Structures are given as C-alpha cells and as structure tokens.
Amino acid sequence: MHFEPKCDLVDTSKAYSGVEVLRVHYDFTSDAPLSVDLSSESHGDFRVSFDRCSALRVIDEGQICEF
C-alpha cells in the first residue's frame, strides 16, 4: 500500500523555529484519528492531522537517560 501526503502549498515559506509539541491526540473513531498540536515562535500555533495511522509511538524523554 502506498500513501501520498496531501499538503497545502505555501508560495512563500520560512523555516520553523522554536517548535514545541503541545498535544498529541489519537481517536480511532475520527476521520483524522491522529492529530498533533504544535506551537512555533515563527508560525504560531498549528495542527497537523493524519487521516490514516497504522502505528503510533510516543516516548517520554523524561527518563531517556536510563536507556
């Protein structure tokens, strides 16, 4: 199975700076089951949504030194 991303093209764009993940939400009953809310110093708040998700892995960096 091959997936093609759907994106809205931006005529002028600039690099994102200071990106922070605000929220990761997964709801298998939704049309877009995975959404990630982000905040950027350069672009403000925005959401990235995925309409197909076969796997999701979230790692808590708080204890990453133990591994």
The pTM of this model reads 0.60
Q: Which of 36, 37, 34, 38 is nearest to 50 (CA)?
A: 34
Give the C-alpha separation, 26 to 44, whole Å.
22
Locate the domains of the chain by residue range. Answer: 17-52
Q: Decide: 28 and 40 in contact? Cβ < 8 Å.
A: no
Tens place of pLDDT per residue across the chain (67 aa) = 676 767 776 666 667 778 888 998 888 888 888 999 999 887 789 898 888 887 877 777 666 666 5
